[in-house]
Chain A
Amino acid sequence: MTPPILEMRGISKAFPGVRALDDVSFRLLPGEVHALMGENGAGKSTLIKVLTGVYTADAGDVLLAGNPVVIGGPHQAQEAGISTVYQEVNLCPNLSVAENIFIGRGKVRWKQARARAAELLTRFDLDIDPALPLGAYSIAIQQLVAIVRAVDISAKVLVLDEPTSSLDRDEVARLFAVMRRLREDGVAILFVSHFLEQVFDISDRVTVLRNGRLVGEYETGALTRATLIGHMTGRVLEALEELHAPGEHAPDSAQPVLRAEGIGRKGGIAPFDLTIHSGEVVGFAGLLGSGRTEAARLLFGADGSDSGQLSIDGKPVTLKSPGAAIEHGVAFCPENRKTEGLVEDLTVGENIMLALQAARGWVRQVTDSDDLVRRWITALRITPSDPDAIAGNLSGGNQQKVLLARWLITQPKLLILDEPTRGIDVGAKAEIQKLVVSLADEGKAVLFISAELEEVLRISHKVEVLRDRQMIAELANEGLTPERILATIAGGGTGTVAAEGAAQ
């Protein structure tokens, strides 16, 4: 066997109150894609941050090509040939795309930087202007830019912490093509993802962590989905897979909770019609930048629409602000938790109570808040389960769960979830899907946005297909397959009308 390019031995790292890593060892071979797996909070990101010197380990050694090294920070890691995309998109929104790709990488000829950036971006089929500030683009594009940057550093070791969490199929395919090419060139790639299919698709070997401890290192070929989940969770979870299908409780078609007629916004999304009934789960499917989020923002009043009419419970309304939407019983859980939701300095409990408190006003204190918070922490299996933990210190997936709890707790009539399972582990993902279905059973309406078509299909009653900032079709979810949705997106799908999906 080739000697490992990177080896971590007996790494331990504790934060106040948490043992994030406990005697973890890890080996990375040149020319392999190595998946690091584990539930939310298992310690994956912490291991990566110890490796790149963001955190100093309490114990343990790092060896690069057999030599012990001390890496003092991300800059030294880069110099040592380790290039990293951290879990949250870590670029500067105020700098241009080109600057974000090249800054901090030694001498740069800025005159040529833009042309070079454009060239790199086309490799990922990204047709964006490298001169514009990064913040002008969606979180998915930002994630791709971060990947472009890391790949272009052309290191010996490439670390990707959940790079695919907000990408759709096409982008993932393109990323994997690039990863395969790098692997052939002998680059060692460390890859974290909660999408099991992706792990089985791309990785050669898997290392599993659980609660900060090493469970084991496996050849991917020797694993099945079930055994991998077993290693990650320490439980046998068949129950996880089965979920009662949508439509068991048919939505109450007499009762539209929300009806949108011809609402749209220039530069955001073309005018569209949409009806969501009580007890109904509506899925939004579409590629990156197809206008999914834009449409949802209109329904929540986060952006104003410049045409059409919205009614809630049969009464025409104008939603001038999210506040107005909340008053009408609409809740919106945004996709970009770092910038649009979580208050990192507040505790988990406070974060969860925020929306409810805002809805009730500051005078009427929520008296039973402790109980409520604990109930949701348990329901979503947020770890650590301490309501007084500081939200910013939680692992990425657990932060997402906190945000979700915040909106679920308000018991809205219509809940809009934009990529709610992004970065969430398999177990919790199933919990969230179950939760959505049970919310619908209780008569709530849910709008579910996800790049993962299987997930959309698993829980939605009907699927709205979006392309190029237009809603191009509404398909009833009866025998609907991801392929059919993709075909609709790919073309010729216009003019497809409701309920036609069943005809297949």
Chain B
Amino acid sequence: MTALTFMGKRGMTAFTFVSRRGYLPVLVTLGLLVAVFVVGSILYYPDFGTGQVVVNLFIDNGFLLVTAVGMTFVILSGGIDLSVGAVVALGAMLCAWLTGMGWPAWLAIVTAIAAGALLGFIQGYVIHEFEIQPFIATLAGMFLARGLCFVISIEQIPIKDPFFDWVQTPIAVPGDMFIKPTVILVLVIVAIAYWMLHYTRFGRNVYAVGGSAQSALLMGLPLGRTRILTYVVSGVCSAIAGVLFGVYTLSGSGLHAVGMELDAIAAVVIGGTLLTGGYGYVLGTLLGVMLLGTIKTLLNFQGTLSSWWTRIAIGVLLFVFIVLQRALGTRRRSAGV
């Protein structure tokens, strides 16, 4: 009984990690990330391979990362959320509009997050209660949120509240680098998401529902609550990302973050999460966003290529990963005893 002795010694992280099994795609992403980074460091020595470039990845892609983290919950549970880009825009818009009307920054931010949570709840409720395809329900949510932005204002609204400046004041850290408070926030969110997925009952239920919703129901798991909560998590994450977007651009606009839902989905998939649900990790999503960000940075350093090459790189990566998952998926199934 080697299995037994092996079992007793590992803690819970090892348990969930090993038991989910789909970690090979994550390792592939990690490998690619390292490879791209090494290539960049060699090509653009000494500017590329520095800690500051890594920190900047978090600064420039923080909102995408937070959105993708929320998306990870939804995709793991077997759903999809197309409304996230619009909710990001709405979050930034609400911050700009409310602070512009003289609300304190914290209240504007809380309101934005509450709006994201509410929209997520409504979408989840509709999806579960009326058995509407997530694709359709969140598409409607997307139009709704975008529409709301334009109801607030057709024009772009600048954010003047000093709080939004303050949260991105560079803080010097050892090693001749600087970070920003937003970076810390982003990392905390990733950590919380990791904890929720791997250490809470809700997280386990998310995997179970993604594995087989019917089975989860028959095993007595709260199918509806779990499903709805994943959309609430996604709504909250996108609203927070919206606040971060507001911080980053110091403005709110109905045209912010157009198509970001697709970037988020791409990052999640490249991070090794199966689009059909049930397999994947939030840390994979972190790597996925980093990989996309690194490629973007690399193209910036290169300077002459148009930014559309980022899109092409994302496209190629997506293909590779979907094929990889397919291959692994078939192997997993035929490995049956």
Judge: A and B partners, yes or no. Answer: yes
Q: Knowing A114-B7, A131-B7 touch, does A54 contact B218 (C-beta < 8 A)? A: yes
CA distance A83 to B20 in the complex (A): 26
Inter-subunit contact B19/A132 (CB<8 Å): yes
Q: List 12 A-B contacts (CB under 8 A).
A: A91-B212, A96-B15, A105-B220, A111-B15, A115-B7, A129-B3, A133-B19, A133-B21, A137-B336, A138-B336, A149-B219, A302-B334
In angstroms, how far is the closest chain A Cβ from the Cβ of B30? 21
* Chain B count of residues within 8 A CB distance of the other chain: 37
Q: Pick the contact of A130 from B7, B207, B219 — CB < 8 Å?
A: B7
The answer to whether A387 has its CB under 8 Å from any CB of chain B is: no
User: Cβ of A138: which chain B residues have Cβ within 8 Å of it?
Assistant: 336-337
Q: What does the 1/0 interface line of B150-185 toward A look like (CB < 8 Å)?
A: 000000000000000000000000000000000000
Inter-subunit contact B220/A136 (CB<8 Å): no
Q: Pick the contact of A74 from B18, B21, B205, B219 — CB < 8 Å?
A: B219
The answer to whether A77 has its CB under 8 Å from any CB of chain B is: yes
Inter-subunit contact B334/A303 (CB<8 Å): yes
Q: What does the 1/0 interface line of A70-110 toward B look like (CB < 8 Å)?
A: 00011101100000101000111111101110011100001
Q: Knowing A90-B214, A93-B211 touch, does A131 contact B3 (C-beta < 8 A)? A: yes
The answer to whether B11 has its CB under 8 Å from any CB of chain A is: yes
Inter-subunit contact A104/B214 (CB<8 Å): no
Please report which residues of chain B, range 297-337, place their CB below 8 angstroms from some CB of chain A when the two chains form the complex: 332-337
Q: Pick the contact of B215 from A91, A130, A136 — CB < 8 Å?
A: A91
Q: What does the 1/0 interface line of A131-167 toward B look like (CB < 8 Å)?
A: 1110111100100000001000000000000000000
Inter-subunit contact B218/A86 (CB<8 Å): yes
CB-based nearest B residue for A84: B218
CB-based nearest B residue for A78: B220
The answer to whether A289 has its CB under 8 Å from any CB of chain B is: yes
Inter-subunit contact A136/B212 (CB<8 Å): no
The answer to whether A118 has its CB under 8 Å from any CB of chain B is: yes
Q: Pick the contact of A95 from B1, B12, B211, B214 — CB < 8 Å?
A: B211
Inter-subunit contact A92/B337 (CB<8 Å): no
CA distance A73 to B219 in the complex (A): 10
In angstroms, how far is the closest chain B Cβ from the Cβ of A335? 11
Q: Interface on B for A, CB 8 Å cutoff?
A: 1, 3-4, 6-8, 11-12, 15, 18-21, 204-205, 207-208, 210-212, 214-222, 278-279, 332-337
Inter-subunit contact B221/A104 (CB<8 Å): yes
In angstroms, how far is the closest chain A Cβ from the Cβ of B205? 8
Inter-subunit contact A92/B11 (CB<8 Å): no
CB-based nearest A residue for B214: A90
8 closest Cβ contacts across the A-B interface? Answer: A92-B211, A96-B19, A75-B220, A94-B211, A94-B278, A114-B7, A90-B218, A90-B215
User: Cβ of B18: which chain A residues have Cβ within 8 Å of it?
Assistant: 96, 131
CB-based nearest B residue for A92: B211
CA distance A78 to B221 in the complex (A): 10
CB-based nearest A residue for B334: A303
User: Cβ of A84: which chain B residues have Cβ within 8 Å of it?
Assistant: 218
User: Cβ of B11: which chain A residues have Cβ within 8 Å of it?
Assistant: 111
CA distance A105 to B204 in the complex (A): 12
CA distance A161 to B221 in the complex (A): 20
Q: Interface majority SS on B: helix, strand, loop or mixed?
A: helix
- Which of B3, B15, B220, B335 gathers most chain A CB within 10 Å? B220
Q: Knowing A74-B217, A75-B222, A118-B3 touch, does A111 contact B12 (C-beta < 8 A)? A: yes
CA distance A495 to B175 in the complex (A): 74
User: Cβ of A136: which chain B residues have Cβ within 8 Å of it?
Assistant: 332, 335-337
In angstroms, how far is the closest chain A Cβ from the Cβ of B302? 40
Inter-subunit contact A141/B332 (CB<8 Å): no
CA distance A149 to B218 in the complex (A): 12
User: Cβ of A118: which chain B residues have Cβ within 8 Å of it?
Assistant: 1, 3-4, 7
Q: Pick the contact of A92 from B1, B216, B334 — CB < 8 Å?
A: B216
In angstroms, how far is the closest chain A Cβ from the Cβ of B329? 10
CB-based nearest A residue for B277: A94
User: Cβ of A90: which chain B residues have Cβ within 8 Å of it?
Assistant: 212, 214-215, 218-219
Inter-subunit contact A115/B207 (CB<8 Å): no
User: Cβ of A129: which chain B residues have Cβ within 8 Å of it?
Assistant: 3
CB-based nearest A residue for B15: A110
User: Cβ of B207: which chain A residues have Cβ within 8 Å of it?
Assistant: 92, 94-95
CA distance A289 to B336 in the complex (A): 10
CB-based nearest A residue for B21: A133
Inter-subunit contact A103/B215 (CB<8 Å): no
Q: Pick the contact of A99 from B204, B218, B335 — CB < 8 Å?
A: B204
In angstroms, how far is the closest chain B Cβ from the Cβ of A80? 11
Inter-subunit contact B7/A92 (CB<8 Å): no
In angstroms, how far is the closest chain B Cβ from the Cβ of A119? 9
Inter-subunit contact B3/A104 (CB<8 Å): no
User: Cβ of A135: which chain B residues have Cβ within 8 Å of it?
Assistant: 332-333, 336
Q: Pick the contact of A103 from B3, B15, B221, B332 — CB < 8 Å?
A: B221
In angstroms, how far is the closest chain A Cβ from the Cβ of B80? 18
In angstroms, how far is the closest chain B Cβ from the Cβ of A325? 15
Inter-subunit contact B220/A74 (CB<8 Å): yes
User: Cβ of A303: which chain B residues have Cβ within 8 Å of it?
Assistant: 334
CA distance A115 to B278 in the complex (A): 24
Q: Knowing A75-B222, A135-B332 touch, does A114 contact B215 (C-beta < 8 A)? A: no
User: Cβ of A99: which chain B residues have Cβ within 8 Å of it?
Assistant: 19, 204, 208
In angstroms, how far is the closest chain B Cβ from the Cβ of A31? 25
CA distance A137 to B333 in the complex (A): 9
CA distance A118 to B219 in the complex (A): 20
In angstroms, how far is the closest chain A Cβ from the Cβ of B73? 15
Q: What does the 1/0 interface line of A426-444 toward B look like (CB < 8 Å)?
A: 0000000000000000000
Q: What does the 1/0 interface line of A162-200 toward B look like (CB < 8 Å)?
A: 000000000000000000000000000000000000000
Inter-subunit contact A92/B208 (CB<8 Å): yes
Q: Knowing A92-B207, A99-B19, A130-B7 touch, does A77 contact B337 (C-beta < 8 A)? A: no
CA distance A132 to B207 in the complex (A): 15
Q: Pick the contact of B218 from A74, A105, A110 — CB < 8 Å?
A: A74
Inter-subunit contact B335/A94 (CB<8 Å): no
CB-based nearest A residue for B76: A94
User: Cβ of B333: which chain A residues have Cβ within 8 Å of it?
Assistant: 135
Inter-subunit contact A110/B12 (CB<8 Å): yes
Inter-subunit contact B4/A93 (CB<8 Å): no
CA distance A308 to B222 in the complex (A): 51
Inter-subunit contact B211/A73 (CB<8 Å): no
CA distance A111 to B214 in the complex (A): 27
User: Cβ of B15: which chain A residues have Cβ within 8 Å of it?
Assistant: 96, 110-111, 113-114, 131
User: Cβ of A113: which chain B residues have Cβ within 8 Å of it?
Assistant: 15
User: Cβ of A110: which chain B residues have Cβ within 8 Å of it?
Assistant: 12, 15
CB-based nearest B residue for A86: B218
CA distance A164 to B11 in the complex (A): 35
User: Cβ of B219: which chain A residues have Cβ within 8 Å of it?
Assistant: 74, 90-92, 100, 103-104, 149
CB-based nearest A residue for B5: A115
- Which of B205, B210, B222, B337 gathers most chain A CB within 10 Å? B337
CA distance A95 to B206 in the complex (A): 11
User: Cβ of A92: which chain B residues have Cβ within 8 Å of it?
Assistant: 207-208, 211-212, 215-216, 219, 278
User: Cβ of A73: which chain B residues have Cβ within 8 Å of it?
Assistant: 217, 220
CB-based nearest B residue for A116: B7
In angstroms, how far is the closest chain B Cβ from the Cβ of A418? 12
User: Cβ of B218: which chain A residues have Cβ within 8 Å of it?
Assistant: 54, 74, 84, 86, 90
In angstroms, how far is the closest chain A Cβ from the Cβ of B283? 17
Q: What does the 1/0 interface line of A253-268 toward B look like (CB < 8 Å)?
A: 0000000000000010
CA distance A365 to B114 in the complex (A): 55
CA distance A385 to B93 in the complex (A): 58
- Which of B19, B204, B207, B222 gathers most chain A CB within 10 Å? B19
